[in-house]
Amino acid sequence: RPAWLPSLFGGPSRPLIAAPPRETPETDDADTVTRDKPRHVAAEGANGAAAAKVPMPPPPPPVIQHTAPELDVDDDDDEQTTPKAAAATLNTPVPALALSAPEPTTRDASEKKKPNGVTTGAPSASASTLMPPPPRPPTLRPLPTAGSTTTSSSLAPPPRARNLPIPARGPGCSTLAPPPTHTSKPAKPSRAVVLEPGHSPLDWARLANSPTADLRGLAAGSPYLRVTPSMLKKMTGRKGKDAWTVLGGKVYNMSPYLPFHPGGQPELLRGAGRDGTRLFGEIHPWVNYEGMLAACLVGIFVAEEEEGSGEAGTAAGDMEAMD
CB of 321 to ligand HEM, least distance (A): 20
Based on CB atoms, which residue is closest to ligand HEM, 224 or 252? 252
Based on CB atoms, which residue is closest to ligand HEM, 5 or 294? 294
CB of 290 to ligand HEM, least distance (A): 8
CB of 285 to ligand HEM, least distance (A): 10
Based on CB atoms, which residue is closest to ligand HEM, 1 or 191? 191
Identify which of 140, 58, 75 has the alpha carbon closest to the alpha carbon of residue 112: 75
CB of 241 to ligand HEM, least distance (A): 17
269 conformational bin, left if phi > 0, alpha if psi -120 to 50, beta if neither: alpha
Q: In a 3-state reduction of DSSP, which class is residue 290? A: helix
- In the chain, DSSP finds a helix count (H) and a strand count (E) of 11, 8
Based on CB atoms, which residue is closest to ligand HEM, 90 or 195? 195
Residue 132, Cβ neighbours under 10 Å: how many? 15
By the criterion CB under 6 A, which residues form the site for ligand HEM? 190-192, 245, 254, 261-263, 267-268, 270-271, 276, 279-280, 283-284, 287, 289, 292-293
Q: Please identify the residue of the shown chain whose CB is closest to the bound ligand HEM.
A: 263
Give the separation between CA 58 and CA 16, rounded to whole angstroms: 16
Identify which of 46, 64, 66 has the alpha carbon closest to the alpha carbon of residue 56: 46
Give the separation between CA 31 and CA 41, rounded to whole angstroms: 12
Sign of CA dihedral 106, 110, 104, 116: positive
Based on CB atoms, which residue is closest to ligand HEM, 97 or 187? 187
Task: Find out whether 127 and 85 touch, Cβ atoms under 8 Å.
Answer: no
CB of 271 to ligand HEM, least distance (A): 3
CB of 294 to ligand HEM, least distance (A): 10
Partnered with residue 226 across adjacent β-strands are: 300
Based on CB atoms, which residue is closest to ligand HEM, 53 or 234? 234
Based on CB atoms, which residue is closest to ligand HEM, 224 or 289? 289
How does 35-61 read in b/e, with b if 16+ C-beta sit within 10 Å?
eebbbbbbbbbbeeebbeebebeebbe
Based on CB atoms, which residue is closest to ligand HEM, 124 or 253? 253
CB of 298 to ligand HEM, least distance (A): 13
Identify which of 283, 289, 288 has the alpha carbon closest to the alpha carbon of residue 252: 289
H helix or E strand, kind and range, residue 321 = helix 316-322
CB of 293 to ligand HEM, least distance (A): 5
Residue 81 dihedral angles phi and psi, to the nearest 5°: -105, -20
